[in-house]
Homo-oligomer: A and B are copies of this chain.
Amino acid sequence: MGERVQELKDYIEGKVGSARSVLRELSSLRTEVKNAALLRAAELLDARRSFIKEENQKDIEFAKENKLRPALIDRLLLNDKRIDGMIKVLKDVASLPDPVGEIVKVWNLPNGLKVGRMRVPLGTILIIYESRPNVTVEAAALCMKSSNAIVLRGGKEAVNSNRVLVSLLREASEQVGFPQEAIQFIDRTEREIVWELLKMEGKIDVAIPRGGESLIRAVAENSRVPVIKHYKGVCSVYVDEEADLDKAYDIVYNAKVQRPSVCNAIENLIIHRKVLQEFFPKMAYFLGRAGVELRCDEESLRVIREDEKLSFVNAKLATEEDYYEEFLDLILAVKVVGSLEEAMDFIDRYGSKHSDSILTENYSKAMRFLREVDSAAVYVNASTRYTDGNEFGLGAEMGISTDKIHARGPMALEELTVQKFIILGEGQFRDNFGVPEEFKKELGLC
């Protein structure tokens, strides 16, 4: 047992050590070299499609043999459309500005010092993820462009797909002079490896877990390395009394129905009492027609019960727990409120600080909502479904943070950097406390 653990540790330390060995080289790598590596990788992915699909097929077959759920198997699949998607990510990331070395601000001090802030890479980033092999390419592309070394720990079920993608990224890197050590793949699948990696404080600079809430909680609780995480998306749309209801139907429908299984879909619909009678019967009709189950408070349930046209709608009384729940399904909890204040209280209490939207034509209410709602992405008059690195124009995303420090929301290039201080001097020393004149005289220096 002890021997096996030691062997695992040696394996991991080799990988992480190799990643760290190129950190300084990465920090001063020219943007053109980074872009060349990304674009060459895009070419290789295109040229080796059949090889990628072959390797992917091994994972798919293994998954089928092991009777994984069809939804999981679908996430594993790399078809031409998904390969196109990865190629697009590589090209998009190449086209974005390089954040590394950017001097954000410089100011003068009275003593003549110039103090500034420079964006620098975080260092070595560990990403722990499940199933989707395209995450391998997205995460690596963002790290390559932001001069971070990456340690990729994908799911066991995708190990063949991930391995081939990493080998192509490294091959492309080598061809253009980008240090391939910056891309490390954990190709062994023992579970203990994750826990050992999370002990490497000071060697791994940040860990980003992507996956189910239980995985993420386990990582957060067991990590000595700082973790940036995303627990869940309990998002809401608030339909204000001054909402443009014609817009509201489409936005709410989109936010709930388009893709209920993702974190930026809504789980709660909050409606101002004054528009309940006008808005909710139609909205409930549309949602009901799409097969959405409604979990309503008493007031909104009454509206449904009183309307014969809505007798087909699957609706019942919500429990307190329903409002906290990330359904990830065609289920929506409904709450009626009497004011913007109450709506924001509701979001504070039940939301997960992910994405929340107000629908209103009232300027002051929109401004208050933007300022006061403490979520990673706060919307006015739009669907929460846009919370995504690519949709926001960031090229891709390393994950979405619902944490309160470092970064909130989709994390892309800038979020994979941090600012250090730079100080440009001309011989300054503090408080005029230098070598005493008498010491200098003793050496005949003045």
Q: Which residues of A are in contact with B by a Cβ distance under 8 Å?
A: 23-24, 27-28, 101, 107, 109, 113, 115, 118, 120, 122-123, 205-206, 220-221, 224, 226, 228, 244, 247, 249-251, 253-255, 257-258, 282, 285-286, 289-290, 344, 348, 357, 368, 370-372, 374-383, 385-387, 391-393, 403-410, 418-431, 433-436, 439-440, 442-443, 445
Find out whether the CB atom of B407 lies under 8 angstroms from the CB atom of A377. no
Which residues of the partner chain B approach A391 to less than 8 Å between Cβ atoms? Answer: 109, 430
Find out whether the CB atom of B224 lies under 8 angstroms from the CB atom of A221. yes
Contact A370:B123 (CB < 8 A) given known A250-B434, A433-B258: no
Find out whether the CB atom of B421 lies under 8 angstroms from the CB atom of A409. yes
Find out whether the CB atom of B370 lies under 8 angstroms from the CB atom of A118. yes
One of B113, B249, B380, B421 near A408 (C-beta < 8 A): B421
Find out whether the CB atom of B249 lies under 8 angstroms from the CB atom of A425. no
Most B C-beta atoms less than 10 A away, residue of A221, A228, A249, A434: A434
Q: A383-B428, A404-B418 are in contact. List 9 more A-B contacts (CB 8 A).
A: A24-B372, A28-B371, A122-B405, A205-B404, A221-B224, A380-B423, A381-B428, A407-B418, A408-B420
Which residues of the partner chain B approach A436 to less than 8 Å between Cβ atoms? Answer: 289
State in angstroms the CA–CA spacing of A206 and B380 once bound together: 29
Pairs A-B, 4 closest by C-beta atoms:
A382-B425, A250-B434, A254-B429, A247-B427
One of B254, B348, B404 near A206 (C-beta < 8 A): B404
State in angstroms the CA–CA spacing of A373 and B304 once bound together: 65
One of B28, B123, B244, B430 near A254 (C-beta < 8 A): B430
- Min CB distance A111 to B, Å, is 9
State in angstroms the CA–CA spacing of A348 and B257 once bound together: 52
State in angstroms the CA–CA spacing of A429 and B27 once bound together: 39
- Min CB distance A90 to B, Å, is 21
| SS of A interface (majority) | mixed
Find out whether the CB atom of A427 lies under 8 angstroms from the CB atom of B382. yes
The copy count of this chain in the complex is 2
- Min CB distance A241 to B, Å, is 17
Find out whether the CB atom of A429 lies under 8 angstroms from the CB atom of B251. yes
- Min CB distance A46 to B, Å, is 25
State in angstroms the CA–CA spacing of A370 and B255 once bound together: 46
Find out whether the CB atom of B418 lies under 8 angstroms from the CB atom of A408. yes
Which residues of the partner chain B approach A118 to less than 8 Å between Cβ atoms? Answer: 370-371
Most B C-beta atoms less than 10 A away, residue of A206, A224, A375, A424: A424
- Min CB distance A436 to B, Å, is 8
Can you identify 22 A-B contacts, CB atoms within 8 angstroms?
A: A27-B374, A28-B368, A115-B393, A118-B370, A118-B371, A120-B374, A123-B404, A220-B224, A221-B224, A226-B403, A247-B427, A255-B429, A258-B433, A282-B445, A286-B439, A377-B420, A378-B422, A381-B425, A381-B427, A386-B428, A405-B418, A409-B420
In the complex, the chain B residue whose C-beta lies closest to that of A348 is B24
State in angstroms the CA–CA spacing of A109 and B380 once bound together: 15
Most B C-beta atoms less than 10 A away, residue of A228, A289, A418, A435: A435
Find out whether the CB atom of A285 lies under 8 angstroms from the CB atom of B406. no
Find out whether the CB atom of A429 lies under 8 angstroms from the CB atom of B375. no
State in angstroms the CA–CA spacing of A436 and B250 once bound together: 9
- Min CB distance A399 to B, Å, is 13
Find out whether the CB atom of B426 lies under 8 angstroms from the CB atom of A381. yes
Which residues of the partner chain B approach A419 to less than 8 Å between Cβ atoms? Answer: 407-408
